[in-house]
């Protein structure tokens, strides 16, 4: 085929090329190693010697011409493909967003965080002890002697003669004093276990223990700290009241009441008409407990308290049955979205 015929065919076939696949076969047919233009090149051997130079030049011109037309076509096809992809991948930003349900913290987790935040502001650190304890930490060194009723089978889940599920977070006091010398200022949050179950009791519940050991610690420090705590937790207007009580590990021991934050102290259903609500137990650490942990009770004194976290949650959120905190009913839990 002569040069002009090839050029004409090249041009007319290029005109109808529409996509990358057609372009690729087109390349093979004309510009590839065995293509027609290459064929023109090889044809030089049949050209008389004196015409070879002119022939070679002419073929080169055709080649350059063909390549530039091919390049332009390729650019056009690539651009078309890219535009088609853009079109296909277009995001409609006006579509309504897909709704993903966000979870929220469990009310007990919020209460735990809130208590820690309040006491962290007063310089407390957090320490966690084990849920399986031995008699020594859970009872004996806390001055709960062998015949004390709280050791009764009805209250304590015993695992072996010596091991039990801790009945309170107070063994954390012993573990902290074993590990650290005064000054001590710690919170011990955690689950505790007792064989007890009704509207306000559950076999598993959570406490927050507080312990401060330093020189000159008095009951005033306890009341001052707890005053700050209840004001931050319930409302700036509430007051605390200490009532004498008894715990083997504190002497003196107190029950701490807050003035009712619902009725302001006039008497309502929440405070059962008394104007006061019991929130926690505490006291001055019994010297025997300090001595059991090797702390010099002539130099140091301590205060301790134990907060029932479910009780705080129930009071704060108006929950009437403790079981609600453990049932994991989504409709109930969703109400506590911050």
Question: At closest approach, how far in Å is the CB of 118 from ligand DAH?
Answer: 17
| 282 near ligand DAH, judged by CB under 6 A | yes
Question: At closest approach, how far in Å is the CB of 274 from ligand DAH?
Answer: 21
Question: At closest approach, how far in Å is the CB of 150 from ligand DAH?
Answer: 8
| 35 near ligand DAH, judged by CB under 6 A | no
Residue number with CB closer to ligand DAH (35 or 308): 308
Q: How far apart are CA 187 and CA 233, in angstroms?
A: 16
Q: How far apart are CA 194 and CA 309, in angstroms?
A: 15
Restricting to residues 119-178, which ones interact with ligand DAH according to CB under 6 A? Answer: 168, 170
Q: How far apart are CA 31 and CA 11, in angstroms?
A: 13
Q: How far apart are CA 191 and CA 170, in angstroms?
A: 12
Phi, psi torsion values for 189, nearest 5 degrees: -85, 155
Q: Is the dihedral of CA 240, 241, 246, 248 positive or negative?
A: positive
First to last CA, the chain: 83
Chosen residue from 35, 171, 189, 283 binding ligand DAH by CB under 6 A: 283
Q: How far apart are CA 304 and CA 293, in angstroms?
A: 15
Question: At closest approach, how far in Å is the CB of 146 from ligand DAH?
Answer: 18
Chosen residue from 70, 124, 300, 305 binding ligand DAH by CB under 6 A: 305
Phi, psi torsion values for 87, nearest 5 degrees: -60, -45
Residue number with CB closer to ligand DAH (62 or 284): 284
Chosen residue from 156, 202, 206, 250 binding ligand DAH by CB under 6 A: 250
| 290 near ligand DAH, judged by CB under 6 A | no
Summarize as ranges the residues that interact with ligand DAH (CB under 6 A).
Answer: 168, 170, 209, 247, 250, 281-283, 304-306
């Amino acid at each position: 085929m002569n040069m002009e015929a090839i050029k004409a065919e090249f041009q007319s076939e290029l005109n109808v090329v529409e996509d990358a696949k057609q372009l690729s076969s087109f390349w093979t047919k004309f510009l590839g190693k065995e293509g027609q233009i290459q064929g023109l090149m090889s044809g030089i051997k049949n050209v008389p010697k004196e015409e070879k130079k002119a022939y070679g030049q002419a073929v080169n011109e055709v080649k350059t011409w063909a390549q530039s037309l091919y390049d332009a076509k390729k650019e056009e096809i690539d651009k078309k493909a890219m535009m088609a992809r853009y079109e296909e991948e277009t995001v409609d930003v006006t579509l309504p967003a897909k709704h993903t349900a966000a979870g929220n913290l469990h009310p007990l987790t919020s209460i735990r965080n809130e208590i820690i935040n309040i006491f962290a502001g007063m310089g407390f650190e957090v320490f966690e002890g084990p849920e399986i304890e031995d008699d020594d930490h859970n009872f004996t060194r806390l001055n709960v002697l062998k015949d004390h009723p709280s050791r009764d089978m009805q209250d304590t889940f015993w695992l072996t003669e010596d091991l039990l599920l801790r009945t309170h977070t107070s063994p954390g006091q012993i573990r902290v004093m074993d590990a650290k010398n005064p000054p001590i200022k710690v919170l011990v949050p955690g689950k505790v276990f007792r064989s007890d179950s009704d509207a306000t009791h559950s076999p598993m519940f959570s406490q927050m223990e507080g312990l401060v050991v330093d020189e000159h610690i008095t009951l005033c420090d306890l009341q001052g700290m707890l005053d700050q705590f209840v004001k931050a937790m319930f409302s700036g207007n509430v007051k605390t009241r200490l009532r004498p009580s008894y715990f083997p590990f504190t002497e003196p021991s107190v029950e701490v009441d807050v003035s009712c934050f619902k009725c302001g102290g006039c008497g309502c259903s929440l405070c059962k008409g008394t104007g006061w609500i019991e929130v926690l137990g505490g006291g001055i650490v019994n010297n025997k407990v300090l001595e059991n942990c090797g702390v010099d009770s002539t130099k140091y004194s301590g205060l301790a308290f134990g907060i029932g976290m479910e009780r705080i949650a129930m009071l704060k959120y108006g929950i009437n049955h403790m079981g609600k905190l453990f049932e994991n009913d989504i409709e109930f839990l969703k109400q506590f979205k911050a």
